[in-house]
Structures are given as C-alpha cells and as structure tokens.
Homo-oligomer: A and B are copies of this chain.
Amino acid sequence: MLPSSTVENYLKAIYVGETHLVGGQKLVPMGQLASALGIAPGTATTMVKALAESGLVTYEPYNGVRLTSAGEKLAARVLRRHRLIELFLVQVMGMNWDEVHEDAEQMEHVVSDRLIERIDEMLGRPEFDPHGDPIPNAEGQLAERALESLLTCPLNTPVTVARVTDQDAAFLRFIESHHLKPGQTIEVEERDEVSDSVRLKGKDDQRMTIGARAASKLLVSSRA
C-alpha cells in the first residue's frame, strides 16, 4: 500500500521540521506541524497517531513527533522529487524560481520513478535546487554544507549566497531584483541591532539595507 499524497505531505513536513529543530530538541511539536500543513491541530494529532500505527513515525503525546527510519526514507524520496522538479521547471522549462513551488508541491506525488530518473539524469545529478535547498540523492542522503546567515557571517568579507529559505513568491522576486540569488557574491558591511537591519554591498558595489528577518533567510558560504 503506497502512501497517499496526504501522508507524503505529512512526512515531508516532519522531515523539514526536524532539520529546523534547535538545541536538544528531538521532536517536532504538533502545533508546528499543523501550521506547516495548514490544518487544524486536532487533525494533525489524529493523523500522526495513524502514521505511528503504520510505523512511519514515533509519537510522544504532548511532546511531538519524529520520523522512523522507514518514514525518513519516504520523506527524503518526496523531498528529492520536489526539488528535482523545481530545478527541472526552472532549468528546462524556463519557469521563474518564484513560480515553481506550487507545481512541484503537486507533481512530487504523481511523477513516476522512471520520469524522476530521466529528470535527474537530464540535469546531471544536481545537488541543489533553484533556492539552494539540497536535493537528497537516490539513497536519501543530502549534501550538507556549513552555511551562515547574513546575521552571523563575518563582516566586510566576500561571501557567496548559497540558499534562500523562504518560498514566498514576493520575497523571491525581491531577492532576484536585488541580485541576491544563490551564486551571487556580496558583503555584509554593517549590522544594526536597534534598527533591526543589515547593510549589504551587492553586485556593482550596490548598497542596500534589509531587515534582520529577511537577512536571516539568506544563507551564505564564507568562501567568495
């Protein structure tokens, strides 16, 4: 019995939820899962109990949920599809990086393994999607990189934008129009706690100031 689209979405949400865990956290809270999926909290509880029943997750009431190895394997597979499809739509179909998320969100559940393999091959076994998100390989492993956000990277040092952790179309268009897409080289010139902002030197030494919240979504690698 193959997992439904709903189950796949749950597993994927738990997977990315786990990567966002801070400190000694081992479980994704129910509330976070529910809001990530845009469903009522009670629905998440019911569904997660069913997932636990089928051995895809471990569920600790009032604490949260985490994937079993079986669940993680499935989740990585869905995430792999999602990101390969996104890259395909940009690279081959010429779509914009701000409009591929919705399509991928649906297609990830229906494309055959055969087609995914074609796509992967056609793209040259890519490791990252258009937003810099890592693409799990066929075995579910993903290439990890040591990245810092614009809030923590060294000042006045060339860094390369590597990842944008927000799929919002308006935000992505903003990033693009300011030449801050992955691959671009920039420098953080100043951070101001009081004004909650970060000043950047971008392409052609263009200066710009963005809010800390936006800055936290831009991940860079410290090698120019």
Contacts and interface: CB of A to CB of B under 8 A. Distances in A.
Given A95-B114, A106-B110, 12 more contacts: A89-B115, A93-B118, A93-B119, A94-B118, A99-B114, A103-B110, A103-B112, A103-B114, A103-B115, A107-B107, A107-B110, A107-B111
A117 to B, nearest CB: 10
B110 A95 contact: no
Contact of A93 (B94, B102, B110, B115): B115
A52 to B, nearest CB: 28
Contacts of A99: 114
Contacts of A109: 110
Contact of A112 (B94, B102, B122): B102
Contacts of A102: 112
B111 A103 contact: yes
A120 to B, nearest CB: 12
A118 B112 CA distance: 21
Contacts of A95: 114-115, 118
Greatest chain B CB density within 10 A among A89, A112, A119 is at A112
* Top 4 A-B residue pairs of the complex, sorted by shortest distance between their CB atoms: A106-B110, A93-B118, A103-B112, A103-B115
A3 to B, nearest CB: 15
A98 to B, nearest CB: 12
A110 B118 CA distance: 20
Nearest to A5: B110
Contacts of A94: 118
24 contacts: A89-B115, A92-B92, A93-B115, A93-B118, A93-B119, A93-B122, A94-B118, A95-B114, A95-B115, A95-B118, A99-B114, A102-B112, A103-B110, A103-B111, A103-B112, A103-B114, A103-B115, A106-B110, A106-B111, A107-B107, A107-B110, A107-B111, A109-B110, A110-B110
A201 to B, nearest CB: 35
